[in-house]
Amino acid sequence: MYQRKIPIDYECGLSVAMEVVGSKWKFCLLDEISKGIKRPRDLVNAINGITKRVLQKQLSELELHGLLSKTIYPEVPLRVEYFLTPSGESLLPLISAVDQWGMGFASQLKVILEGKDSEI
Amino acid sequence: MYQRKIPIDYECGLSVAMEVVGSKWKFCLLDEISKGIKRPRDLVNAINGITKRVLQKQLSELELHGLLSKTIYPEVPLRVEYFLTPSGESLLPLISAVDQWGMGFASQLKVILEGKDSEI
DNA sequence: CAGGATCCGTCCGGATACTG
DNA sequence: CAGTATCCGGACGGATCCTG
C-alpha cells in the first residue's frame, strides 16, 4: 500500500499480500466485481464512500497486479467491464473469510468504540 | 484505515475488518506476537521496516480494539509484554491463510513488477 | 463513460526529545 | 525500555478539468 522503500519481501507472504490487497477498498472491489458489478460507474455507486479517483487508481493497481482484467467495449458512450482473473478468484475465499470474521467482530467493536465515544 | 467520515458500516464485515486490521503492519504484529515476540523493542527488531512510533501506534490501536492486551512488569528498566486476546487469536487462521496466499502469489507478483521495472 | 492530469489540503510516518 | 509529544516533509485523497 505504500511500501516502496523496503521493496517487498517476497519471502514474506504477508508482505506480498499487503502489497497487493492492502489498500482500503481492494477487498470490497474484488467482492463487488465477483458479485457482478463490473463497471466503474456502478462500483462508485455500490461502494459507500469511495470516490471516482480512488476507485480508478485501485482498479488499475489490481489490474497491474493481475487480479483483475477488463474488457473495453468501443461503444459510445464507452463501456468497460472488469472481471476477476484466476488469481483474483483465488482470493475470494479469503475475502469471504475476512468478511465473516468482521461480521462476528462487529458487535464487539461497536461496544468498544461507542464506549470510547461516551467518554468524551 | 483512515475511515472516520463514513463512520464504519457495522453491517459490512469487510468494513469492520479493514477498520481493525487494515493497517500495513497489523497482520505482521499479530503474527509475530503469536510466535512469542511480545516486547515492543523485540518487535521493532523482528519486523523489517517498522519504526518505533508506528509500532507503538498500531499496538495501541490493536489493544484499543481488543485484539491485543498487555502486561506491565514494574521492573527497571520497564518491561511490557503484549499477548493476543481471544479475538486476536480468532484472527490467526485468517492471517495464516493470507500469508499462504501471499506466498503463492509472490512469484507472479515478482514477474509482474520486475517486468515493469525492465520497461523503464 | 473511462481514465488520466493537475492543484491543493490533509493525514501519515520519520526523526527527535522527553517522561516515568 | 515503554510510551507520548512535537516538528516537518512526503504521500494520499478530494475536487476539478480535459481527452478519447
Give the model's confidence band at A88: pLDDT under 50 very low, under 70 low, under 90 confident, else very high. Answer: very high
DSSP string, chain A: ----SS---TT-HHHHHHHHH-STTHHHHHHHHHTT--SHHHHHHHSTT--HHHHHHHHHHHHHTTSEEEEEE--SS-EEEEEE-HHHHTTHHHHHHHHHHHHHHHHHHHHHHHHHHHT-
The pLDDT assigned to A2 comes to 46
Return the percentage of chain B with pLDDT > 70, whole number: 90
A118 has a pLDDT exceeding 60: no
CA-to-C1' distance for B70 and C2, Å? Answer: 50
Residue entry with cell 480508478: A56
Q: How far is A42 from chain B (nearest CA, A)?
A: 18
Q: Do A105 and B95 touch (CB under 8 A)?
A: no
Q: What is the pLDDT of residues B22-47, one digit of tens each?
A: 888 999 999 999 999 999 999 999 99
Q: Is the pLDDT of residue B120 over 50?
A: no
DSSP lists the bridge partners of residue A71 as A81
Taking CB atoms and an 8 Å limit, are A94 and B97 in contact across chains?
Answer: yes
What's the CA dihedral at B101, B106, B112, B117 to 10 degrees?
140
pLDDT at A94: 95
CA B20 to CA B10: how far, in whole Å?
Answer: 12
| Nearest-by-CA chain B residue for A111 | B65
Whole-number average pLDDT of chain B? 88
Which pLDDT band, with edges at 50, 70 and 90, does B3 fall under?
Answer: very low
| Structure confidence at residue A5 as a pLDDT band (50, 70, 90) | low
C-alpha cell at A46: 455500490
A51 touches strand C (CB under 7 A): no
Q: Grade residue B99 by pLDDT with cuts at 50, 70 and 90.
A: very high
Contact: B109, A8; criterion CB under 8 Å: yes
CA of A53 to C1' of D18 (A): 15
Architecture of domain A19-119: Orthogonal Bundle (1.10)
What span, in angstroms and rounded, lies between the C-alpha atoms of B56 and A55?
A: 31
Residue B39 phi, psi (nearest 5): -100, 140
Name the residue type at position B72.
I
Question: Whose C1' is closest to the CA of A75: which nucleotide?
Answer: C1
The C-alpha cell at B15 is 468494513
Q: What is the mean pLDDT of chain A?
A: 89
CA distance B78 to B58: 20
User: Measured in whole angstroms, how far is the alpha carbon of residue B66 from the centre of its chain?
Assistant: 13
Using pLDDT thresholds of 50, 70 and 90, give the confidence band for residue A49.
confident
Sort A29 into a burial class: Cβ within 10 Å, 0-12 / 13-18 / 19+: buried
pLDDT computed for residue A8 by the predictor: 83
In sign, the C-alpha dihedral spanning A57, A63, A65, A68 is positive
Residue A11's pLDDT band, with cuts at 50, 70 and 90, is confident
* Model confidence at A58: pLDDT above 90: yes
Sorted by where each begins, the domain ranges of chain B are 19-119
Inter-chain touch B99–A64, beta carbons under 8 Å: no
Chain A partners within 8 Å of B19 (Cβ): 109
Half-sphere exposure of A59 (CA within 13 A, CB side): 22
Nearest chain A residue to B16, by CA:
A102
**Lookup result for grid cell 468501443:** A74
- Residue A84 Cβ < 7 Å to strand C: no
- Determine how many CB atoms are found less than 10 A away from the CB of residue A59: 20
Chain A positions in Cβ-Cβ contact with residue B1 (cut-off 8 Å): 24
Percent of chain B having pLDDT more than 90? 68
Q: With 70 as the cut, is the pLDDT of residue B55 above it?
A: yes
pLDDT score of B119:
44
C-beta within 7 A of nucleic chain C, residues 35-54 of B: 49-54
